[in-house]
Amino acid sequence: MSNQFDIEYTVNIWREGTQFVAHAMPLDVMSSGQTPEEARNALDEAVQLFLATATEIGTLEEILLEAGYEVNADRWDSPLWVATERHFATVGV
């Protein structure tokens, strides 16, 4: 694999109070902002820093394999997401 390659990830964004939270799956990196766009941009920066740090300390391949990624030519493909669902659970009596 060359020194430069793409790593795809899926982003979920939701609202928590006055903030929007963005989560990169399956990397499990999160960030937030006052708008969905700010959260998305902050997340992209956080992912870049996370991947750069993992590369520097030599753990990137291990992290990606443990997260379910597969190498394909010059990119790492994330697991194929089948569905994003919202479920409810009953708690209490």
Backbone φ and ψ of 7, nearest 5°: -125, 115
pLDDT at 28: 95
Encoded amino acid at 27, one letter: L
Q: What is the pLDDT of residues 42-76, one digit of tens each?
A: 999 999 999 999 999 999 999 999 999 998 887 88
Where are the strands (E) in the chain, listed by range?
6-7, 10-16, 19-25, 29-33, 70-72, 75-77
pTM: 0.84
Segment 3-12 shows an average pLDDT of 86
